[in-house]
Amino acid sequence: MLGAMEAPVVMVGSDAVEVERRLLAGELVCPCGGGLAPWGHARRRPVRGVGDLRPRRARCGSCSVTHVLLAVSCLLRRADGVDVIGAALLAKATGAGHRPIAVWLERPVSTVRGWLRAFAGNAETARSMFTGLLVRLDPLTGPLPVRRGVVADAVEAVGACAAAARRRLGVLGAVSPWQLSAAVTGGRLLAPSLSAVSINTSRPLGGAV
């Protein structure tokens, strides 16, 4: 179970106009399979690297649960876009420390250290989650190269999954590997609840594409 403090989230694309169109057209679905209808907005918040977001809320006509529609460019409760955070994780996987990464990305050292620690805590879960998805997307895929540790292995698995999704689905032109990771994890790549996330393998990208 996810914590009571975490609103149910449905991942959507980054284009607010397109999200609105799909919501009104009934194209966005709840994890239960029911159709989502507009239900106001969540609190406006700035996301560095993305812009000012005012996420849509939507309510399921079947199970009556209200969801926040979170853009795949974001992670839950992180003030930076997932591509910036992913750049830090990739740098860490190649051996960089949090201080040079913070200078490079022009973010506070404490913020970058927080991302790296949170991801390190989730790395084994993420590695296993993305490796499993990779096999589903591409059953003929070979074993991934073993990197220098579980963080690097997890980053490798995210990248391999994105490449496989692009080959298999052919719909990822506008979705980066890290946005894919946000979509697959329901925005919880760095959240303590990642281990409770179950991938919808028939629709791993949710409403994101």
Q: Which one, 24 or 171, has the nearer CB to Zn ion?
A: 24
Q: Which of 138, 144, 136, 130 is nearest to 180 (CA)?
A: 130
Q: Which one, 10 or 137, has the nearer CB to Zn ion?
A: 10
Please state the closest distance from residue 10 (CB atom) to Zn ion, in A: 10
Q: Which one, 70 or 89, has the nearer CB to Zn ion?
A: 70
Please state the closest distance from residue 200 (CB atom) to Zn ion, in A: 13
Q: Which one, 37 or 169, has the nearer CB to Zn ion?
A: 37
Please state the closest distance from residue 24 (CB atom) to Zn ion, in A: 18
Contact set with Zn ion (CB under 5 A): 30, 32, 34, 60, 62-63
Q: Which one, 177 or 207, has the nearer CB to Zn ion?
A: 207
Please state the closest distance from residue 64 (CB atom) to Zn ion, in A: 7
84: its two tokens: 């910036």
Q: Which of 51, 55, 27, 30 is nearest to 41 (CA)?
A: 55
Please state the closest distance from residue 61 (CB atom) to Zn ion, in A: 8
